[in-house]
Structure 1
Amino acid sequence: MARVRQERAEITRQAILDGAAIAFDQAGFGGTSLSDVVKHAGVTKGALYFHFQSKEALARTLMDEQFAVSQDVPAIEDPGLQTVIDLTHQMASGLRSNVRIRAGIRLVIEFGSFTSPDPSPYNTWIKTCRSCLTPAQEQGDILPSVDVTDLSTFLVGSFTGLQVTSFVRTGREDLHARVVDLWNYLLPGIVPGPRIPRFDPSGSPACRAELDLQASPVG
């Protein structure tokens, strides 16, 4: 019986997170009430408060959902520059297809820009990028003159701006294309010339297959 109760409680918790994601994605933090969450989740307000003490607690949980995209990075045996390229496409795909990730990113931007500035989500992504770019530089795939911390910071900021612009202009329909642009413009400035062909701005074959993406045309 205890296991059944735990399973039911987890189903309810996930329903609350799904409902909150829909509400936050549509209206943002300030425009969402707990009544909106309850309506989208199909649960009682008592059930909501059992799992989450406040709207901010819900928001913080959803803000962490984005890191599911990078959860496998520590287990990669030989991370490098292509790993980071693939991550940008995986995040782009998540923003287009996963309402939890969309809501979490919207909340990160709102919290970071308009409420109590919280740099921790950005710092986490910067750390993840740096953990891949440092060995890439050690292997000669990134120019020795490049500061990988600065490069990681630039990438996180650039992706943030790209996805916001893509959302406003096309509903993120062109986000993968804009990510390809980012890498096409960036690679010649950070990678030794002879090594540039090793990296695919449109994602590795495995990444493209996973996300059902097309390779960029050559030339």
Structure 2
Amino acid sequence: MARQERAEVTRAAILEGAARVFDAEGFHGTTLGDIVKESGVTKGALYFHFSSKEELAQHLIDEQFSALAPMENLDNPGLQSAIDILHHMARLLVENVRVRAGIRLVTDQSSKTSIVSEPYTKWIEIFRKCLAEAQQRGDVKADVDCERVAAMIVGSWTGIQLSSQVLCGRKDLSERTTLMWEVLLPGIVPPRRLARFHPEGSAQVAERPLGVAG
């Protein structure tokens, strides 16, 4: 195996191992020794790729945004884009440990030593853009404040996924996500356009790949 290929395999092993430990124990319950053991690499190999536990955690936090890569309609976003993003994220949280770890790390670090606001503000801006584009097309009521609704979507879904995790290991997260949109859509969409949107996600969302960049 070429040196670069070996390095990529080692880096991926570190990220997978770190994700499993962070997902299970959280940021403050995880040590670099735990990550080395779970990854099956040496401490020297870990430090070659990542200088600290904080750097590893930040990489996994940032990875949640690479989940948007398969969302083809984000170049022309709208209200269905926002719906589909959350359904895609619901699938990732169930099936991809690196995304689960990234989401848990945001929660852990925000509630402990330092406030980690950047992921929240990024998601709010993504949904604000979707809503603003939809509003220009007449798909969102003219009097809706897109930024405030985007913040509400992020806050509501954060609570939904956390409660779903506690109650049933996120087995019902897709159903809870659908219910959230069923409740929200009548308040922001003109009645004549409501039938255009699918709170359960579009037909294509279940077919999108779940891969996350390393």
**TM-score normalised by the chain length of structure 1:** 0.92
Q: Does the CA-based 8 Å contact 1:166-1:175 persist in structure 2?
A: yes
Q: Does the CA-based 8 Å contact 2:141-2:190 persist in structure 1?
A: yes
Structure 1: gaps spanning 5 or more residues = 212-219
Q: Which amino acid aligns with 1:69?
A: A
> What is the aligned partner in structure 2 of residue 204 from structure 1?
202
> What is the aligned partner in structure 2 of residue 15 from structure 1?
13
CA distance in 2, matches of 1:187, 1:195: 10
2:44 aligned counterpart, secondary structure: helix
Deviations 1:90-136 (A, max 9, x none): 00101000000000000001111222001100011111111211110
> What is the aligned partner in structure 2 of residue 95 from structure 1?
93
Count of paired positions: 209
2:129 is aligned, of 122, 128, 131, to 131
> What is the aligned partner in structure 1 of residue 212 from structure 2?
none
> What is the aligned partner in structure 2 of residue 156 from structure 1?
154
- Percent identity among equivalent residues? 52
> What is the aligned partner in structure 2 of residue 112 from structure 1?
110
Q: Does the CA-based 8 Å contact 1:183-1:201 persist in structure 2?
A: yes
Deviations 1:32-57 (A, max 9, x none): 11111011111000000111111111
CA distance in 2, matches of 1:169, 1:78: 36
Q: Does the CA-based 8 Å contact 2:109-2:115 persist in structure 1?
A: yes
Structure 2: gaps spanning 5 or more residues = 210-214
**TM-score normalised by the chain length of structure 2:** 0.94
CA distance in 2, matches of 1:57, 1:77: 30
Q: Which amino acid aligns with 2:126?
A: T
CA distance in 2, matches of 1:84, 1:76: 9
Deviation at 1:208, TM superposition (A): 3.1
Q: Does the CA-based 8 Å contact 2:64-2:99 persist in structure 1?
A: yes
1:105 aligned counterpart, secondary structure: helix
Runs of 4+ aligned structure 1 residues displaced above 4 Å come to 72-75
CA distance in 2, matches of 1:162, 1:209: 23
CA distance in 1, matches of 2:207, 2:30: 37
Q: Which amino acid aligns with 1:82?
A: Q
RMSD: 1.5
Q: Aligned in 2, Cα 1:106/1:8: closer, same or farther, shift over 3 Å?
A: same
